[in-house]
Amino acid sequence: MTNSNPLYKTQREKAGSQTFDKYMYQYHWALYRLLKEHEQEKEYAVFMELHEDVVLSDSLDADKAEFEFNQVKTDKGSFSETKLIRLKNGSSVLGKLISSSNDEIGRDKIKTINLVATKGFKLTQKNPRMSLENIGINDIDPKSLQKLSDAIEKELQADNFPINLHFIVPDLPEKSTQETVIGYIASVVEKLYPHSSTKARDIYRLLIDDLVRKGTISFDYPLWEDLLEKKGLTSITVTKVINQFTERKNDLDVYRNLDAYLDELGLKALERRKWKQSFDRYYLQRIGNKTVAQLDMTKQLNESIDKQLRYCNDEIERLFTLVMDELPELMKNFFAEEIDLKTAILCEIILKE
């Protein structure tokens, strides 16, 4: 099944795709931002230099996806109201940000439009004593907000001032950025897999390289699946990279139980190796992939296993047959070979123990 790309519109500019070396903070901020989603075990995709510096999708499903547009600035000074709307070559910083989230994409698909500035903002707030790292429209003094709105409407020649606009001071420092991100990776992995051992620096290198490589791609993709693969860094990919460089505490117990079942099946060496490889693929996806499709698959497998256990007479091959006979064809089609479905069933049984 293929889906049209909801972000397939003419891009405002592509210069950033060819000059990414000037914007490495943007890439580190993007990685830092997606790790916050990953820490909460959410589904996401991040795109660099696609309509905006950083675009975050909250779903891998084209029909369900909503987007967060982020323009990341590392200017020497903070942004005042005057600086935000000052015209340079016919455009202002705020005008460019708002015009990137145009009606062609659909405002209903864009959750938030964020200006992220490392030096912060000098905006007149309703409560001047508040020190906010995320300033929304409702936090700004009405007179100042009217000033911004009037300037943008004049610049863009339209009543186009968004209510989902935010001004964000990032908590990722400009200095020691790389070490901060690596430390955060280690923290996220520890939270997801307590007492695990991970190579955070290796995870960082693979993820930042992937972001940078895809950020340089300036092609447009009509199909959503192509955009995800060639331009996006997804929660699935991040999970695979983390799994590649992480040893979890209970892995030894899982594989010890797997060996016991493989002994019961009486597999020879080469066949045993094939089963282990198949098991690895499903196991790593199962423990880290929190997509709706994976969760549904896990639920269906477990329901069928629980139902058929009483009829299998403690014979694992018999259980395989009963479960596979009951599963819908649509679900079976997710597995390339019968052995992959069997190891998935085996994995779910082991994780229940």
Instruction: Give Cα 217 distance to the centre of its chain.
Output: 18
User: What are the start-end ranges of the E strands in the chain?
Assistant: 45-50, 52-57, 67-73, 79-80, 110-117, 121-122, 134-136, 165-168, 197-198, 232-234, 246-247
- Mean pLDDT to the nearest integer, 117-142: 94
- Flag whether pLDDT at 336 surpasses 70: yes
pLDDT at 35: 97
Give the pLDDT band of residue 105 (cuts 50, 70, 90): low
**What are residue 55's DSSP bridge partners?**
47, 69
pLDDT at 104: 57
The percentage of the chain sitting over the pLDDT mark of 90, rounded to a whole number, equals 63
pLDDT tens digits, residue range 273-299? 999 999 988 888 787 666 677 788 889
- Mean pLDDT to the nearest integer, 325-340: 89
DSSP three-state, residue 214? helix
Given a contact cutoff of 8 angstroms between Cβ atoms, the answer to whether 30 and 48 are in contact is yes
- Flag whether pLDDT at 168 surpasses 50: yes
Give the pLDDT band of residue 20 (cuts 50, 70, 90): very low
- Flag whether pLDDT at 22 surpasses 80: no
- Flag whether pLDDT at 103 surpasses 70: no
- Mean pLDDT to the nearest integer, 314-337: 89
Q: How many Å apart are CA 24 and CA 8, to the nearest integer?
A: 25
pLDDT at 10: 67
Quick one: which of 126, 131, 101, 103 has its CA closest to 114? 101
Task: Give the global pTM.
Answer: 0.77
CA dihedral (28, 178, 175, 193) positive or negative: positive
Distances (CA, A) of 20 to 25, 67, 78, 218, 328: 10, 22, 23, 12, 47
The residue written with tokens 């409702």 in the block is: 138
pLDDT tens digits, residue range 45-82? 999 999 899 999 999 999 999 999 999 999 889 999 99
- Mean pLDDT to the nearest integer, 181-208: 94
